[in-house]
Amino acid sequence: MSTMNMNGNDNDTSYRYKMPVFKVTVAGKGNGVYTIFNNIDDISKSLNHPTEVIMKYLAIVSGSSYIQARETITGPHDPAELKEFIMEYNKYLVFCSKCNIPETVPGLSGSKKNPTLQFCCSACKNTTEAKSVNKRIDKGIDIIIKYLKAGGEWKIHKANCVKQEIEPDGADQTEQSDESSNLVLPSAQERANPFNFLK
């Protein structure tokens, strides 16, 4: 299976966080053209995010519609375009903003009516509130909140990635010692912002 670095910088051959390259098929004619995602489940597992969430995000940011029954989105889309969209998603909605490791699990805090999306990192135990960056990421945040509010199952596919309780606002967060963690510690290069090469 062809893979790419989860931060999009494929020039870094030593980078260990990988995801499958998009494999798509464009089908249909005229106004009925649509894009079939042949390996979207593998991509979703690598990101640890549900297929439905990823597909809805790609559809919205590309100005398309998601056809869930067929796992397709309307219009023609090539892998290069999809890679650009997913790298932005990874940067703000998958990677930890503190340690830059893609081992976060989302959760909701605050009121049930107006919840706040937070990400708990399995690597450094940091909890961070999702922040508004641009309209695309705002849409991504809304998609995840709606999915969680509806009771959608957030399956954990990575062995090191675990669900953690969202601490109340203002609560102290205690980091585990390196000795007590079963995780492979990230290198100094990986702790640096892996998205620095992006504009």
Q: Is 199 part of a structural domain of the chain?
A: no
Q: What is the DSSP string of the chain?
A: --EEETTS-TT-TT---EEEPP-EEEE--GGG-EEEETTHHHHHHHHTS-HHHHHHHHHHHTT--EEGGGTEEES---HHHHHHHHHHHHHHHTS-TTT--S-EEEEEEE-SSSEEEEEEETTT--EEE----SHHHHHHHHHHHHHHHTT------STT----PPPPTT---PPPPGGG--SPPPPHHHHS-TTTT--
User: Is 150 among the domain residues?
Assistant: yes
The pTM (predicted TM-score) of the whole model is 0.79
Residue 198 lies in a domain: no
Question: What CATH number does the domain containing 23 carry?
Answer: 3.30.30.170
Q: How many whole angstroms separate alpha carbon 140 and alpha carbon 129?
A: 14
pLDDT, tens digit only, all 199 positions of the chain: 699 999 888 888 889 899 999 999 999 998 899 999 999 999 999 999 999 999 999 999 999 999 988 889 999 999 999 999 999 999 999 999 999 999 999 999 988 888 999 999 988 999 999 999 999 999 999 999 999 999 988 887 765 555 555 554 444 443 433 333 444 444 554 455 555 544 4
Question: Is residue 165 assigned to a domain?
Answer: yes
| Assigned domain for 47 exists | yes
Total count of domains within the chain:
1
The parent domain of residue 178 ranges over 3-191
Q: 152 in a domain, yes or no?
A: yes
Q: Does some domain include residue 197?
A: no
Decide if 41 is inside a domain. yes
